[in-house]
Structure 1
Amino acid sequence: MMKLSRLAIGLAMSACAGQAIAQTAPVAAPAAPVVAPAVPPKPTVADVARNAPPAPDYADPAMWAAGFGGLKAAATLPAGASPIARHAKVDVFYIHPTTFRGGPLDLNQDPRNPQANKWADESVVARQGGVFSGCCNVFSPRYRAASFAVFADPAVQAAAFELAYSDIERAFDVFLKQLNGRPFIIAGHSQGAFHTATLLERRVDGTPLQKRMVAAYIIGINIGEGEFGRRFKHVPICDRPAQTGCGLQWNAMMAGTDLTKARERAQSTYVAKYGDNPGKRTLCVNPITFDRKRPASTMAQARGAVPGSPGFGAMQPLKAKAVAATCDDGYLVVTLAPGLGLDPLPGGVMHFHDVGLFYADIRANAAVRVAAYLRAHPAARRSAR
């Protein structure tokens, strides 16, 4: 379902861009016969390797949006957020989502591209990675993330994602050396969540690292409940707000949206791999309660959302008591207070706002999990760089 949902978002963005051009172009009589525009080349799997930017060197602090050389992009806070943690005992490895549109054959983002990095830093690293600065030191690698151009072809997407993930593993190894035995959180959204889940499966689950993992925040993809125990054989679902060593997920949709087709598509990947069983239901942990026994929450419980769509510049002040949310058979259905300025994508999809809607709630929960982990592991409380 990751492929389908990202493709839909890419098409929606392209449609919006085309609409803007149509509304602003001047009207004039044609001076010459109209010539059909050239058809852009269709990318192939071979183009992924052929056009790949050079692999980043993670010994270079410039290849980190946050972490080496300070919090950097993750140091930005909206007014009303809790302070940045000083002398934190836990570190976060945060992986940003797809931010690079590119051209027809720009299939993976170049981590040395300053314009692309600025957009990633301000639109997502600050707004998502920075969520965890209230409890932890945040590390966020620049990587050859797959671009929006890959989502039309599943084979091209798979190749571009595998190239991107190869960077993530190398960055994670550098991150682990920096930790020197300290506990950690892994987190990501959308494409970043896809890589977070892969990292959890390949590098953490069932290894000694699992004992050091506080939690895995896998946000905005469609992991089935039954993948815990199958794909992730040792890592359980986070059932309670203070539980550690576990994984969690949600996908936000506007109230009133017909979820039938989205639910079927989300479950189809699970069914194809594991069979048609109850585990096909997409995992939803309400990011206001963080308690699977309390799947619904009211606006009064919401600690604070970031108004306005992700973009360049500073975040607006947090707005508390502005989001009600309910887990409805795998999806997080949200109702928003007026004035948040958060528009859904076609079909009621709130994908771009999966983190911003719950900024203060996630920030508080990460601190709760860290405190619980440190209480249970006294040696970690004495850890230092």
Structure 2
Amino acid sequence: MDVFYVHPTTFRSARNEWNQRPGDVEADRWTDESAILRQASAFTGCCRVWAPRYRAASVNAVISSTHRDEAFALAFTDVERAFDWFLANVSKGRPFILAGHSQGAKHISDLMQKRIDGTALQGRMVAAYIVGINLGQGEFGPRRFKSIPVCSRPAQTGCALQWNAVLAGSDLEKKLAPYRAFYTAQYGTQDGWEPVCVNPVTFDSARPASLSAEALGAAPGTPGLGPMKPLRAGAVAVRCDRGLAVVHLAPGLDLEPFPGGTMHLHDIGLFYADVRANAALRVKAWFSRLRRN
């Protein structure tokens, strides 16, 4: 089994550079140790992970209203070519998982829409872990993803899942307002605007809340250079509330939120061992169904 993983925004150049430079040693190291080590490696329990280099939109581009769309478009051309290479040279007809966080999740969602939804490749997609963006519930259906559903059960395959972590006590309405506005501008309606939230511990729509005792292991510390610290089990309680994954953290995890309580940097690290176990479960379920058919 193979995973096609796309990393988030990691190019932090102070200059007016809109996309990550190929071969930039410093940027590549930061990407590898702050993101790939702490996110993509969660899938190595079940699969071979392929994490391509690409000209990701820079931090400057992401915060720029003038250059953002152009930078994302250029980055996606790299992702799409990398996916073609992955299919031809890595996957070679085998099933696969898609995974990405933040900017990487945006590219994965665009790839899923353009290249997988309703095509023969959909039958090979075990799941898509699209983490840290704001896909609305109404995008799964006629508006965007016409035949790929949201994952509602832990062992379901051929589906997509998403969550955005925020600290308990955060102003949810303040965080949700821009999601609602973007969705309304995109689709001309507020119907279905609330973000998809799949609880990243239970992975079960019937269990939107979980106790800290159920959490298999979080990665302590803010992502950065150097190895991961040992995982801590039983350290995160989480509930889906209005489309956001609201978390209560045990003391000592040393996870720094963004202003307002957004835990964006830790969307996968908070649930590292849970994601690892769930990916393995979905792979097992996929092969079980293949044998029965």
TM-score, normalised on structure 1?
0.74
Q: Quick one: distance in 2 between partners of 1:161 and 1:379?
A: 42
Q: 1:236-315 residue pairs with structure 2 within 5 A?
A: 236-315=149-228
Q: 1:1-385 residue pairs with structure 2 within 5 A?
A: 90-178=1-89, 179-229=91-141, 230-378=143-291
* Residue pair 2:99, 2:105 contacting (<8 A) in 1 also: yes
Q: Quick one: distance in 1 between partners of 2:52 and 2:223?
A: 20
* Matched letter for residue 274 of structure 2: D
CA RMSD, 1 decimal = 1.2
Q: Quick one: distance in 1 between partners of 2:155 and 2:292?
A: 19
CA displacement 1:278-330 (0-9 Å, x = unmatched): 41111000100000110000000000000111011111101000000000011
Shift of 1:379: 9.7
Q: Which moved more, 1:262-271 or 1:186-195?
A: 262-271
Q: Quick one: distance in 1 between partners of 2:236 and 2:188?
A: 35
Q: Quick one: distance in 2 between partners of 1:130 and 1:232?
A: 27
Q: Which has the larger radius of gyration?
A: 1
* Matched letter for residue 111 of structure 1: P
Task: Identify if the C-alpha distance between structure 1 residues 131 and 103 changes in structure 2 by more than 3 Å, giving closer, same or farther.
Answer: same
Structure 2 residue matching 1:279: 3-state secondary structure: coil
Shift of 1:201: 0.5
* Matched letter for residue 241 of structure 2: D
* Matched letter for residue 254 of structure 1: L
Q: Quick one: distance in 2 between partners of 1:276 and 1:301?
A: 38
Shift of 1:152: 3.3
Gaps of 5+ in 1: 1-89, 381-385
Structure 2 residue matching 1:253: 3-state secondary structure: strand
Structure 2 residue matching 1:104: 3-state secondary structure: coil
CA displacement 1:228-264 (0-9 Å, x = unmatched): 0121111000000000000010000000111112111
CA displacement 1:171-192 (0-9 Å, x = unmatched): 0000001211100000000000
Q: Quick one: distance in 2 between partners of 1:320 and 1:103?
A: 37
Q: Across the two proteins, how many residue pairs are aligned to each other? A: 291
Shift of 1:115: 1.1
Q: Quick one: distance in 2 between partners of 1:361 and 1:287?
A: 7
Q: Quick one: distance in 2 between partners of 1:289 and 1:282?
A: 18
Identity %: 57
Q: Quick one: distance in 1 between partners of 2:64 and 2:21?
A: 21
TM-score, normalised on structure 2?
0.97
Structure 1 residue matching 2:67: 3-state secondary structure: helix
